[in-house]
Amino acid sequence: MLSKKECLRRFYQQFQFDDQVLITIDPDPDALASALAVKRLLWRHVSHTKIALIRPIKRWNNIAMVKLLKIPCQDINSISTKDYSKFVLVDGQPHHNEVFRSFSYNVIIDHHPFQEVSYPCHPLECSIEKRPFFDIRPSYGSTSTILTEYLKTSRIKPSSSLATALAYGIKTDTRNFERQTLEDDIRAFLFLYPFVNRYTLNKIEISDLSIEDLKFFDEALKHYTVSKHRIFVFMDEVPSHDILVILSEFFLKLHEISFSVVAGIVDSSLVIVGRSDGRKHVGEFLKKAFGNAGSAGGHGAMGRAEIPLEYIRKKYNVPICERNIIEKFVFDSIE
Any bridge partners for residue 302, and if so which?
A: 275
Nearer to Mn ion, 56 or 113 (CB): 113
Nearer to Mn ion, 28 or 306 (CB): 28
Bridging pattern class, strands 230-237 and 224-227: antiparallel
Residues that bind Mn ion (CB under 5 A): 30, 91, 143, 173
Considering the complex, what minimum distance in angstroms separates the CB of residue 30 from Mn ion? Answer: 3
| DSSP helix/strand/coil, 297 | strand
Give CA torsion, residues 124, 129, 130, 132, to 10 deg: 70
Report the C-alpha gap between 23 and 43 in whole angstroms: 13
Closest distance to Mn ion from the beta carbon of 140 (Å): 9
Separation of alpha carbons 297 and 286, rounded Å: 6
Q: How far apart are CA 274 and CA 216, in angstroms?
A: 17
Shortest distance, position 240 Cβ to Mn ion, whole Å: 21
User: Smaller CB distance to Mn ion: residue 178 or 212?
Assistant: 178
Residue whose CB is nearest to Mn ion in the complex, by number: 30
Selection from 66, 95, 72, 58 nearest residue 23 by Cα: 72
Find the shortest distance in angstroms from Cβ 66 to Mn ion.
16
Q: How far is the CB of 175 from Mn ion (least distance, A)?
A: 12
279 φ/ψ angles, rounded to the nearest 5 degrees:
-70, -30
For Mn ion, give the closer residue by CB, 110 or 306: 110
Strands 295-298 and 302-308: antiparallel
Q: Which is nearer to Mn ion, 61 or 143 (CB)?
A: 143
Instruction: Pick between residue 111 and residue 275 the one whose CB is nearest to Mn ion.
Output: 111
Q: How far is the CB of 305 from Mn ion (least distance, A)?
A: 28
